[in-house]
Amino acid sequence: MKACAIFVDPNDVSQTGKYTSFLVNSLESIGVKVVKLVKDTDVNGDSWFVADLVVVASRIPTATEVATIQSRKKSLVYLIASDPVVADVERFSYATNIPVNRIDFIRSCDSIWLTNNFTNHLSYVETMYKRPVKVVPNLWDDSFSTPPMTYTPKANAPLDIVILDSNTSFNTSCWKQLVICEQLYLQNPNTIHQVFLFNTPESNPTSMGMIRSLTLKKDGKIRIFKALPVGDIVNFFLKSDKNTVFLGNQVFDDMPYNYYDILNAGFPFVHSSSMLKSVNVGLYYDTLDIQAAVNQLQAKAYNVEANLVANRTFLRSLRLADTSAFD
């Protein structure tokens, strides 16, 4: 592949939106010409004619755009960079703004790219969308990160626990993490200084009522914020005089992009990601075992320097060396 065109929504900060940015950066870094199709009028020009293929990534093209691409005999590839089963189950179970003809659109594409952190869903994607599927690399770079500072533990300082997941879907819920923090607080109330919850939960009486039922909340230990750029969050806690641990719960998505920047800065990361466990990164707990997560939050043997080496070795493995995986 010498050139490609990619449908891009520059305002999309979802998993797919970030992967799209990393894909563009990675391809350009190894010499591939990338034409970004941001506006629906971009296909009217001729800059994208050099593309070997056209990728539907963080922006879905209009029917007119698709017709224009097909008239030029260009191969149309649909990118799946987030959990396809959870996405479809949520569309099946709840009212969404995603049109039903999305399924027909994907089936009209020539092929599908599925990122390799979701290979366990390969047969599902093949069955559901009935198109050839190519597994492509999961990618990451530090374009969303602050300059590479490193977290330093503070002797005898209290602990701040940071949760970046919201409650906008089943596989990115913050609720399990809050219950883990509640268990730690009940067992050892002097351990926790504050629990920081970013990506404010959706405004509904049930979720906020559940949070208010926690002893942590009643004692003023939970602070809730709107979504902020991950780089700003990292920078804030790097300057904190408290110890900081990030807490995640990976239900289906082994590693949401929010947490890659955390690893790059060297923060302790308590997680249930089998992918990170396999490369000895972070502090693992079985997603069903709340007490195991509590134990990891209190781990005293965390070696920041050694873990930073493991973290950055893993992150470097997500850089693209050539286009062979996409050809």
The pLDDT assigned to 7 comes to 96
pLDDT tens-digit series, residues 117-166: 888 899 999 999 999 999 999 998 887 776 667 898 888 889 999 998 76
The pLDDT assigned to 161 comes to 96
The continuous run of DSSP H or E covering 245 comes out as: strand 243-247
Of 135, 133, 139, 130, the residue nearest 118 (C-alpha):
135
First to last CA, the chain: 6
Give the contacts of 192 (CB within 8 A, at least 6 positions apart).
158, 159, 160, 161, 181, 184, 185, 216, 221
The pLDDT assigned to 86 comes to 78
| Percentage, residues of the chain above pLDDT 70 | 91
The pLDDT assigned to 42 comes to 92
Phi-psi label, residue 204: left if phi above 0, alpha if psi -120 to 50, beta otherwise: beta
Q: Which of 155-159, 171-175, 202-206 has the highest mean pLDDT?
A: 155-159
Q: Which residues of 146-159 are buried (b: 16+ CB within 10 A; e: fewer)?
A: beeeebeeeeeeeb
| SS3 (DSSP) at 181 | helix
Of 243, 237, 238, 275, the residue nearest 256 (C-alpha):
275
Residue 306 tokens, joined: 């050694």
Report the DSSP pairing between strands 222-224 and 243-247: unpaired
Report the DSSP pairing between strands 243-247 and 192-197: unpaired
* Length in residues, the chain: 327
The pLDDT assigned to 203 comes to 64
The pLDDT assigned to 172 comes to 65
Residue 135 tokens, joined: 């597994």
> Is the pLDDT reported for residue 167 higher than 60?
no
pLDDT mean over 199-207: 72
Cβ neighbour number for residue 168 with a 10 Å cutoff: 14
Domains of the chain: 3-139 (3.40.50), 144-315 (3.40.50.2000)
| Continuous H helices in the chain | 15-29, 63-71, 84-93, 102-108, 122-129, 175-187, 205-212, 215-218, 230-238, 260-265, 274-278, 290-297, 304-316
pLDDT tens-digit series, residues 269-305: 999 988 889 888 999 999 889 999 999 998 765 677 8
Q: Supply the mean pLDDT for the chain.
A: 88
pLDDT tens-digit series, residues 221-270: 999 988 788 888 999 999 999 999 999 987 766 677 778 889 999 999 99
The pLDDT assigned to 213 comes to 96
The pLDDT assigned to 252 comes to 65
The pLDDT assigned to 304 comes to 76
- Which of the two residues, 167 and 71, has the higher pLDDT score? 71
The pLDDT assigned to 188 comes to 93
| Percentage, residues of the chain above pLDDT 90 | 50
Give the contacts of 135 (CB within 8 A, at least 6 positions apart).
113, 114, 115, 116, 119, 122
